[in-house]
Chains A and B, each alone.
Chain A
Amino acid sequence: QKEVEQDPGPLSVPEGAIVSLNCTYSNSAFQYFMWYRQYSRKGPELLMYTYSSGNKEDGRFTAQVDKSSKYISLFIRDSQPSDSATYLCAMTWVSGSARQLTFGSGTQLTVLP
């Protein structure tokens, strides 16, 4: 079993739709969670990061963390064609000197105009 499982997609939605992207994890030591967006042949771009359970909103993006269920989500409202990319969840633990991120395999999203 992988430490981080992510729905691979591909996911195709019409412009303006609400998109839900999800990851589950098995290691309860993970305490810090991030979402990245990666366009084809580019580097991952940090979208959101959060430490607490609950919701964090930034513009059209909302990150949700449920530590009791080991489940995180990213919601995109009013999706745009420019949101078409691969979305990666990532997480790390916050004790000791280790800082490595463990990534999900990514969900490929296409927003159709």
Chain B
Amino acid sequence: NAGVMQNPRHLVRRRGQEARLRCSPMKGHSHVYWYRQLPEEGLKFMVYLQKENIIDESGMPKERFSAEFPKEGPSILRIQQVVRGDSAAYFCASSPGLGTYEQYFGPGTRLTVT
């Protein structure tokens, strides 16, 4: 059973470009979460999605960041007009659904903004 998959693993963008990070949850999991880990800081929640729905985006920066989890295909975290402060590791996690709370993490995408 494949785990959570994320790609790309490493992404380099110049300031002002767009970054698209993709996440495929574990088989049978319908809930997806995105977290950010800044250098020397802990993991911070960004957004929680189910298929075609954003459930909780309370941790998402108000501007330039968006997320989606379409009916078909992976979840996408999109960062527009990236700035140096966006450089971080972005992790996706998934869980089976209602009644369960443990989350399983992917390997992460390391974004570097130059």
CB < 8 Å A-B pair total: 65
Distance in angstroms between the alpha carbons of A1 and B28 in the assembled complex: 38
Judge whether B58 and A100 touch: CB under 8 Å. Answer: yes
What is the bound-complex CA distance between A101 and B43, given in angstroms? 9
* Interface size counted on chain A using CB atoms at 8 A: 25
**Which secondary structure characterizes the binding site on chain B?**
strand
B101's partner among A36, A43, A94, A104 (CB-CB below 8 A) is A94
Contact with A along B20-35 (1 / 0, CB 8 A): 0000000000010101
| B→A interface (CB under 8 Å) | 4, 6, 31, 33, 35, 41-45, 48, 55-56, 58-59, 91, 93, 95, 101-108, 110
Known: A42-B108, A51-B101, A88-B42. 8 other contacts (CB 8 A): A43-B91, A43-B106, A46-B104, A92-B101, A100-B58, A101-B35, A103-B44, A106-B42
